[in-house]
Structure 1
Amino acid sequence: MEEQTVNIHDDIINRCIEGDEVAQFELYRLYSKAMYNTALRICGASSDAEDVLQEAFVSAFDRLHTYRREAAFGAWLKRIVINKALNHLRTQQKYAMMMEDTHEHLEVAESTDELTELQVQHVKDALFQLPVGFRTVLSLYLLEGYDHREISEILGIAESTSKTQYKRAKERLKDVLRSKLNYG
């Protein structure tokens, strides 16, 4: 017998499947912040992350009847967000120019410690200076918790390529952070 994942929002999900707009808004409210952060880490710009988030929720609501409850709803939705974000990146032809403006769109988490806030900002800035492939693999592995096999499936690359990209991304990130500390 196939085991289903227990989901604390099953009632809301069922109401969404029935077309209840109040339930859809509630589901959006529950998951939008986390999904936005996932999209932002991949896309790099707030406006792109917002677009991806909206597209992902529209797609999720359209396909909610296909959700088989084999994984937590958040994991199912995150996969949609990641796929939408990656598709968004693939369709951008002038992505490099947009990367220069990325730091203007970042929101620094509130912190009582100014040094910690500055360090977080340096890491975020450095992350967005990485090439798209490096940043995507690093984000999926470190921040989203996917393993290299899963990343290879998501991105359509070899598992060894994922591992190599991750290793190179870490080294590049260290280099960028070192240069910021020396010259920033």
Structure 2
Amino acid sequence: MRQKEHIHKKIIEACKKGDNRARYELYGLYSKAMFNICYRMMNNREEAEDMLQEAFTQAFMKLESFRYESNFGSWLKRIMVNTCINAINKRKVELTYCEEIYHYDKTEEQDDHDPEFTVATVTKAMEQLPEGGRMVFSLYLLEGYDHAEIAQIMGITESTSKSQFMRAKRRIVDILKEQTH
């Protein structure tokens, strides 16, 4: 790969040699973006902070396995996502499959105006989603995973991932409509 694609190669190599200053620097470069991933998945600031620390610890322990075959941020993001999924699975929280939860009235009149979609309003609406829908929505829309990857990560079928995403999206629209009335 071209050197440009690995702008932090010197820092990563220093981390591999055990340089704590380099680890601190690498943490500083990626921690904010990785915290946002953890927060969207865990929906709780304290748990997100715990997951961030745990995932960075794992990343530093596995750093020797990073071979520059992918972008470091992508490699680290996968560790973050997997750490969050494992923590959720440890809690033995079953994914809430939304079939029974959301009933949409097809005869409901359409509003003349769409709700305002901003990052803040969508993020706030996401907090109200059931865990399974929130995770699929976040992984698909915000983290860029496709449904096959989400299915593999979460241990669900691809069709379940797609239906969870569609239900989560509809629920967010409903929440945003409720907020504008």
- Which band: TM-score by shorter chain? 0.7 to 0.9
SS at match of 2:6: coil
Q: Write the distance in 2 (CA, Å) between the matches of 1:151 and 1:94.
A: 17
Query: Which residue matches 1:172?
Result: 171
Calculate percent identity across the aligned residue pairs. 48
Greater shift, 71-80 or 145-154, is seen at 145-154
Q: Write the distance in 2 (CA, Å) between the matches of 1:152 and 1:120.
A: 26
Number of aligned residues: 159
Q: TM-score, normalised by structure 2?
A: 0.81
1:87-126 superposed matches below 5 A: 87-92=86-91, 120-126=119-125
Q: Write the distance in 1 (CA, Å) between the matches of 2:66 and 2:93.
A: 35
Report the AA paired with residue 27 of structure 2. Y
Query: Which residue matches 1:33?
Result: 32
Q: Write the distance in 1 (CA, Å) between the matches of 2:2 and 2:45.
A: 35
Query: Which residue matches 1:153?
Result: 152
Query: Which residue matches 1:83?
Result: 82
Q: Write the distance in 2 (CA, Å) between the matches of 1:31 and 1:122.
A: 25
Q: Write the distance in 2 (CA, Å) between the matches of 1:141 and 1:94.
A: 20
Deviation, structure 1 residue 39: 0.4
Q: Write the distance in 2 (CA, Å) between the matches of 1:180 and 1:86.
A: 30
CA contact (8 A) 1:4 1:70 kept: no
Note the alpha carbon deviations across 1:5-43, whole angstroms, 9 max, x for none: 831111111110110001000100000000000100101
Deviation, structure 1 residue 124: 2.1
Deviation, structure 1 residue 175: 1.3
SS at match of 2:85: helix
SS at match of 1:129: coil
CA contact (8 A) 1:12 1:27 kept: yes
Q: Write the distance in 2 (CA, Å) between the matches of 1:120 and 1:64.
A: 33
Q: Which has the higher helix share?
A: 1
Q: Write the distance in 2 (CA, Å) between the matches of 1:13 and 1:164.
A: 39
Q: TM-score, normalised by structure 1?
A: 0.79
SS at match of 1:19: coil
Report the AA paired with residue 11 of structure 1. K
Structure 2 unpaired stretches of 5+: 95-115
